[in-house]
Amino acid sequence: MAVTYKTPSQVGDEYLQYLKALKPTVNINQKDSDWYIRSRSNGGIVSGLYADQQKVANDIFPNTARHDAIANHLSTWGLVPFKSAQPANGTVSVTGNIGTTISIGLQMSYDPNGNTYNSTSGFIMSGTTAVVPVTSTASGQAQNLLPGAQLTVNLPGLQSTAVVLTMGDGSDPESDTSAAQRVVTRIQEPISGGTQTDYEQWALASDPSVTSAKVRRFPFGPGTVAVYLTAGTTNIDEAINQGQPIVRQPTQVTIDAAAAYIDALNPIDDCLYVFGIQEIPVDVTVRRTLSPGLSGGTILSGESLTIDQLTTREVTRALYKVPTGGRVINGLGYVVASEVEEALDSALSAQPYSQGTIAQVLIDRQVNDLSATGTNLLLAPNQAVVPGVINIVDL
């Protein structure tokens, strides 16, 4: 049975009741009395001790432990420590004169947010275009960029704009929840010679940028194992709320590092293949009924987005949170329409919308058309979902 520790007010009131039993003449309701002030002070101290005991008890279990205690759990189980934030790595295409010298540390900037990137190798251009490997100056998922993003570069002999080919692997510091889950997984699924969860744990330990791993048995015949990685964006909610690009495709450097790490641990008779994910766009049609007086163009108090934009944002959030290979139902993976509906419920329907105003925005919503395939969409084990065309139909 769970122990519910008393609040400072409860402890203080009990103190006054005991005092009244011992000294009936005391007026325990006189709030400027010495007794009353002592009851509040002692109540705070005693309740604090109880609360600290609760935290110490919670530290025994990784899923309720505090940060420092989780670090101890990681060490005890021989797991890699908390993963630190990682820079983004990738390649950019530059255009310029033959013979132009690209030096290590050449800086480029992404003007919309001020991100800066430095070249990691130097060479002399033998043609009018070249591919330059770069890494971000800072770390974190906000350093990731989508292909086609333009960087500003200032070097005689080069055009002032470089085009991003790839820019991923940037990740935020590992959260307590993620680290605790690694401990729980190791406890519940100890390494046992090459099971599916063994490969997943090895992949997560292989490189700090790796965020998830999907394992498939016998993809290329008996004895083969395929591991599909995601890397980069660690916090989907923050990325969507802050308008950051969501990049989950690992760079080849990360794929190679994971392959080398796992290959040193997996059974020698397993033929290992490590890949990035295959991202597929999924179209969604949402049929909805809004509360009276609202329209798709309405901007609620405290918001900067219209209801149409909020609806699109929450559908986008739900799609990005579908795990690689989908939700497994009877051995097959799907994008499940009801999960998209639940995301809309959580933000706009079932729970009162309380960001700036309390109002139920959606009276009803139906998602029954995923990429024109029907209610649920079947995924291959290596496929990860990205938003396609999101249609909104008002009923």
State yes or no: pLDDT of 110 exceeds 80: yes
Q: By C-alpha distance, which of 167, 165, 74, 71 is closest to 115?
A: 167
Q: Which amino acid is at 219?
A: P
How much is the average pLDDT of 72-94? 97
Q: What is the mean pLDDT of the chain?
A: 91
State yes or no: pLDDT of 354 exceeds 60: no
Q: What percent of the chain has pLDDT over 70?
A: 96
pTM over cut 0.85: no
Q: What is the pLDDT of residue 359?
A: 59
- The C-alpha atoms of residue 325 and residue 215 are separated, in whole angstroms, by 10
- The C-alpha atoms of residue 99 and residue 107 are separated, in whole angstroms, by 19
How much is the average pLDDT of 262-287? 94
pLDDT by residue (tens digit) across 152-171? 999 999 999 999 999 999 99
- The C-alpha atoms of residue 321 and residue 236 are separated, in whole angstroms, by 7
State yes or no: pLDDT of 191 exceeds 50: yes
State yes or no: pLDDT of 280 exceeds 50: yes
Phi-psi region of 270 (alpha: psi -120 to 50; beta: other; left: phi over 0): beta
Q: What is the pLDDT of residue 351?
A: 47
Q: What does the domain layout of the chain look like in residue ranges?
A: 8-76, 87-168, 176-276, 279-394
How is domain 87-168 classified at the architecture level of CATH?
Answer: Beta Barrel (2.40)
- The C-alpha atoms of residue 364 and residue 275 are separated, in whole angstroms, by 41
Q: What is the pLDDT of residue 153?
A: 97
Higher pLDDT, residue 349 or 194: 194
Q: What is the pLDDT of residue 130?
A: 97
Token output for 255? 């794929």
Q: What is the pLDDT of residue 1?
A: 39
Instruction: Please name every residue paired with 164 in a beta bridge, in sequence order, or none if there are none.
Output: 92
Strand (E) or helix (H) holding 210: strand 210-217
- The C-alpha atoms of residue 65 and residue 180 are separated, in whole angstroms, by 8
Q: What is the pLDDT of residue 3?
A: 60
| CB-CB contact of 300 with 265 (8 Å) | no
Listed range (51-55, 232-236, 303-307, 379-383) with the worst mean pLDDT: 51-55
Binned at pLDDT 50, 70 and 90, residue 356 comes out as very low
Binned at pLDDT 50, 70 and 90, residue 113 comes out as very high
Residue 165, CA distances (Å) to 92, 133, 150, 225, 267 in order: 5, 10, 10, 29, 36
DSSP, res 345: H
- The C-alpha atoms of residue 271 and residue 226 are separated, in whole angstroms, by 9
pLDDT by residue (tens digit) across 208-259? 999 999 999 999 999 999 999 999 999 999 999 999 999 999 999 999 999 9
Listed range (283-292, 368-377, 386-395) with the worst mean pLDDT: 368-377
Instruction: Please name every residue paired with 12 in a beta bridge, in sequence order, or none if there are none.
Output: none
Q: What is the pLDDT of residue 157?
A: 96
Higher pLDDT, residue 355 or 104: 104
Binned at pLDDT 50, 70 and 90, residue 2 comes out as low
Token output for 300? 């609620």
- The C-alpha atoms of residue 109 and residue 98 are separated, in whole angstroms, by 23
